[in-house]
Amino acid sequence: MPLPAEREIFAGQPERLFYDGACGLCHAAVRFVLAKDRSGNAFRFAPLDSDLFRSAIPEAERARLGQTLVVQTADGAILARSRAVLHIMRRLGGIWRLLAGLLAIIPRPLLDRLYDGVAWSRHRLFRRPADVCPVLPPHLRRRFDL
């Protein structure tokens, strides 16, 4: 059961998940979140190279973030790397919330190191998505801000 503050945030507008549009792992993560967030109330999606990302995140912070999953929460906080992944898992609920709670026991510097290791090898391990965007059904297309 979410805490009262979480309930208020989760009941509000979807949060933004920004992703690397040239990364197969990021595309897989977006597809995963789309599948788990069946109601479409948790997240909206936009690539890191979008005008929306450039207008939502100041240039200095964009440079600091690099090519990573970024979540802009309902209250405007910017989460990246392992913090973003854990937040996404909590927001999806169910077993994912439980797994996020277990992973949160691990110190964040260690989780970020693990995230960075996967990020470093992601282009070798995960095939780059095709240059052509996939054709999404209208009910999913509405969840993207391109």
**Count of C-beta atoms within a 10 Å radius of residue 98:** 12
What's the average model confidence in pLDDT over 116-133?
Answer: 65
Residue, of 127 and 82, whose pLDDT is higher: 82
pLDDT of residue 88: 95
Token pair belonging to 75: 């209250």
- 112 Cβ contact partners less than 8 Å away, ≥ 6 residues apart: 81, 82
| Torsion on CA atoms 140, 141, 143, 145, rounded to nearest 10 | 160
> Backbone phi, then psi, for 47, in 5-degree steps?
-70, 155
pLDDT of residue 15 exceeding 50:
yes
Q: How far is CA 115 from CA 26, 66, 82, in A?
A: 12, 13, 6
Of 54-63, 78-87, 96-105, 136-145, the poorest mean pLDDT is in 136-145
Instruction: Note whether 109 and 103 are within 8 A (CB).
Output: no
Segment 32-68, tens digit of pLDDT: 999 898 888 899 999 888 899 999 888 888 888 877 8
Of 51-60, 62-71, 72-81, 83-92, the poorest mean pLDDT is in 62-71
Instruction: Note whether 91 and 42 are within 8 A (CB).
Output: yes
In the chain, the domains with their CATH numbers are 4-140 (3.40.30.10)
Token pair belonging to 143: 């969840």
